Every structure is written in C-alpha cells, then in structure tokens.
Amino acid sequence: MLWRLSKIFVFIFLLPAYCFGQETDPGPGYQMMMMMNPSLAGIGGDGVLRLSYLDFYPGNNYNLHSVYFSYDSYFSELHGGAGVYLSDDYLGGIINDFRGGLSYAYFLQAGKDFFINGGLSASIYHRGFNFDNAILPDQIDPLGGVSIPSSEILSSSGRTVFDIGAGFLFASGKFTGGFSINHLAEPDISATGNFSERLKRKLLVHVSEDFTLNKEQNLKIQPLTFFEIQGRFINGGAGMALESKYLSINAVVLGDNGKNLNIQTGFSFSAGRVTGFYNYRFNAVSGNKLLPFSLLHQTGLAFSLNNVEKRNTIKTINFPKL
C-alpha cells in the first residue's frame, strides 16, 4: 500500500516538477553534450563511444532512470565530425521517452587560432505510456486506500515525432564557447494538438576555459558555465574542474527559476583509452519544498576506439570530464 501511495506522490507532485523543463536534465556534463549541441560531434578527434546512466531522486523508489549511448568521430571526408546517439528516459514506470538521432558538424578554421563549428541534428522522439501501475484520482478513497479498477480508460498508444536542432561552437586558444537551439519544430509529443503541450525550443549556452597549472604533471584547472532556457524554465550554473593526467574532480553550483539551488560534485579517472566518471547532485535549497536532498546519481564510461588523422582542420578540445 505504501508503495502505491508513493506512486501517487510521484505522479501528482514530482513528475510535474520534474517535467517543468519538459525533458530530463543531465545538467552541465559534457559526456552527453552532443545530444544538446550537435556542433560538438567529432570535436575530440578520435572516435569515442560514451555510455551514461542517470538515477533521479535515488533512494526514494520513484523509479526515474535514464540511459544514454553515443558514438562520434572526426571524418576528413566530411570535413567535420559526425555522430549517433540514443537515449531512453524511464519515468516512474508510466512514461517512457526514447530518442535517437544523428549529428553532423562542419569544421572551419577561420583564423590562425580561431575555429568555428556549425552543427545540425535530426532525431526521432518516441513517447510511450504504461498505465498498468498508475493510480488515478478516482481510485483513492477518503481513508487513503486504493480501489481498483478505475472508471477512467486511458490509451497506452505512444507518439513518435521528428525533431531537429542546430548549434555552433567557437574555439580560440584556451577558450571554448557554444550555443544551440533544440526542438526547432516544437514537436507535439503528447498528441493532444494543444500548443502548450509541445516540446518548447531549448536554448543552451556553454563556455569553458583551460588553464595549465603545472605542465610537467599535466595539472590544469577548467572553469565552466552554462545557461539554458526552455519555455518557462530557466536554468544555469557555474563551476570548475581540476584535472591531472589520470584523475579529475569537479564541482558545479546550479540554480533555476523555481528557486532551487543545487550542487553537483564528481570525479573521473582515465586508464589508457578508457575514462570512467561519476557525478552526484543534491538540493541545497528547494523553492517548492518538494525536492528530496538527493537529486541525481550519474555514472558512465567513455572508450576511445580509434585514432583519427586530424591534420590542421580540427582543434582538439579538452572539455571538463563531467
């Protein structure tokens, strides 16, 4: 009974807050950034396979999970980079958002040490439903119990839409900045025909810099910041990563217009062609008093599968390993 009542709590309170931005929030991490800014496809030069797993509101049995897979590389024949990505968001056992897409970035050397990337992405977005374990309002009796079945009949048919995005990346010296706009077509993922239910365009701006502290020990510090707007949702953050040859640690402060202040910390380690990473996000201040303390666990691996001849048309960028 308590498990069913927790499902009610998630469906009525947390899911609307969680979907305020209309999609899962991986935050400032660059391991999943190609899905948000296609101009990053192939920017590392070598072909890289990335795997990520995110557990939202851990320890509360809310069953909110996300997995991400991508591969991108530089291709001289394309004069740029290309990649493919897949993501699956499993929200409380009721909503399942699957997304798969292709990204392409054209690399342009605009000056001696000034590079511009222009990227485009095309993706398929599928939203599926499973109401077998859903608790509807008419199933709740005055004493807090649950009566089955419901008098309401909900359709479990899913919805598949086409989506596009675009982005740019600028790099000069130690500085890298980019911006992107996703959901340019504002696809109707809910199939209601109501404009307010469409996926709103998402603007993302991200900036990072790379300062060497000790060249012999490969020690460097990388400040970063990001800012995003999607519909009525505004989110931003700033922090830094301290990186050596084999280990990196990071800390980022995030805030949104829901008056939430969150902190994310994490680390990554490299062993040859394999990089592993972990991030933990917690809520320091909750604007609506509903968010639990633990917001997110993220873990993943990145594999460098093949070396690519970069020539002079690509500036390899060492992003913070978040």
Q: How many whole angstroms separate alpha carbon 219 and alpha carbon 215?
A: 6
Q: How confident is the model at residue 310 (pLDDT cuts 50, 70, 90)?
A: low
Q: Tell me, what CATH number does 194's domain have?
A: 2.40.160.40
Tell me the pTM: 0.83
- 230, part of any domain: yes
pLDDT of 3: 45
Q: How many whole angstroms separate alpha carbon 63 and alpha carbon 83?
A: 30
pLDDT of 131: 63
Cα–Cα separations (whole angstroms), residue 193 to 23, 182, 185, 189, 196: 19, 20, 14, 9, 9
Q: Which residues contact residue 163 at a Cβ distance below 8 angstroms, ignoring those fewer than 6 apart?
A: 99, 101, 122, 123, 124, 125, 182, 183, 184, 185, 187, 199
- Of all residues in the chain, the percent with pLDDT exceeding 90 is 51
Q: How many whole angstroms separate alpha carbon 69 and alpha carbon 244?
A: 26
Q: How many whole angstroms separate alpha carbon 222 and alpha carbon 57?
A: 28
Q: What are phi and psi of 314, to 5 degrees?
A: -135, 135
Q: How many whole angstroms separate alpha carbon 261 and alpha carbon 293?
A: 11
pLDDT tens for 157-175 read 678 999 999 999 999 989 9
Q: How confident is the model at residue 22 (pLDDT cuts 50, 70, 90)?
A: low
- 321, part of any domain: no
- 311, part of any domain: no
- 318, part of any domain: no
Total of domains in the chain: 1
Q: How many whole angstroms separate alpha carbon 91 and alpha carbon 85?
A: 20
Instruction: Give the angle 85-90-91 at the CA atoms, nearest 5°.
Output: 135
- CB 287: neighbour CB atoms within 10 A? 15
- 316, part of any domain: no
pLDDT at 315 over 80: no
- 317, part of any domain: no
- 320, part of any domain: no
Which H or E run includes 2?
helix 2-9
- 255, part of any domain: yes
pLDDT of 18: 46
pLDDT of 135: 54
Q: How confident is the model at residue 194 (pLDDT cuts 50, 70, 90)?
A: low
Residues of the domain holding 137: 2-306
